[in-house]
Amino acid sequence: MPAVLRFDRFEFHPHSGELIAKGTCVRLEPQPAKVLALLARRPGQVVTREELQREIWPADTFVDFERGLNYCIRRIRSALDDSAAAPRFIETLPKRGYRFLPEVAPEIEPPPIAPAADSPPASAAPPGRRGSRSGWPLVLAAAALLAAAAVAAVLLSPRSVALPTVAVTLFDNETGRADLDRAAQVLTDTLVERLARNPARFSVIGNAAILRTPRPMRNLATIGSSLHADFILLGQILPGERGLLVLTHLIRARDQRHLWVGRFESPAGLEPGLAGRVAEAVASAAAATSGGNSGAAGSGTF
């Protein structure tokens, strides 16, 4: 794949998902980045929905393909400031697929320059020192001892054995209000920061790209195995009878079993103190669950 795809005023890096325009960088999630790369590699051609499904979502991936693809196209159009009604970049062909409209200039990174034929190999010893290897056995032995000591220290540390790991996914904004997308992000980041304040109880993962996967494409088994997480925390922002309702779900990763559910009413919107209330309740639930009751499901309302 080309290292860079240039079109219109944009510069797209498929491997990193970075979309750059006039010094501003937008990082697409992995799935939207793959969709954009596939479309941009075939400008002017129709890429069918079946091709996108086959290339981006293999047969062994269990997701809602229609919702996942629609999300990817919306995310790409938002990043490109494009419109489905008057497209400049992505044209929709109903029931068929999509066509990438602008011309694309691929740019391939040059291969590394090979050393000159008369240049000595990089690993060659300097002249006059080729025979001085008598000190290497001692150096290697010392390095092996240091490595063994480091491994033993990690394995014998009680924290490394007993500390459970909680992976926090991006809160889902299910209110239908676009103005709360940023609030969901802030709530997630604040919750991760509050949970990480007490590293003696459990470790927290909140910055992995897989945790930002939209709900239609989220696979809890994949999250648990790839991050080696003991628990996965899901969050929802919903319209409530009075203002907003925030639900949090603590899931055991190995069998995806619900262990705890928290319910938080927020009549005045996502007020600043809400993240602290959620974090305190989640921390208590995670600590209680990992303290020996992980075999029994529980629930709580706060």
Least confident of 92-101, 196-205, 292-301: 292-301
Residue range 118-172, pLDDT digits in tens: 555 555 445 544 444 555 556 556 666 666 665 555 445 544 445 688 888 888 8
Question: Residue 196 above 70 pLDDT?
Answer: yes
Contact 107, 2 (CB under 8 A): yes
- Token digits for 78? 């938002």
DSSP labels for 139-154? HHHHHHHHHHHHHHHH
Tell me the C-alpha distance between 28 and 16, whole Å: 8
Residue range 24-68, pLDDT digits in tens: 999 999 999 999 999 999 999 999 999 999 988 766 655 678 888
Pick from 87, 238, 116, 229: nearest CA to 177: 238
Of 206 and 10, which is predicted with more confidence? 10
pLDDT of amino acid 294: 44
Tell me the C-alpha distance between 137 and 150, whole Å: 20
Quote the pTM value: 0.47
Residue range 69-118, pLDDT digits in tens: 999 999 999 999 999 999 999 999 999 999 999 999 987 655 554 555 55
Residue ranges and CATH numbers for the domains of the chain are 4-107 (1.10.10.10), 161-290 (3.40.50.10070)
Helix (H) or strand (E) holding 278: helix 274-290
Helix (H) or strand (E) holding 49: helix 49-56
Cβ burial 15-29 (10 Å sphere, 16+ → b, else e): eebebbeeeeebebb
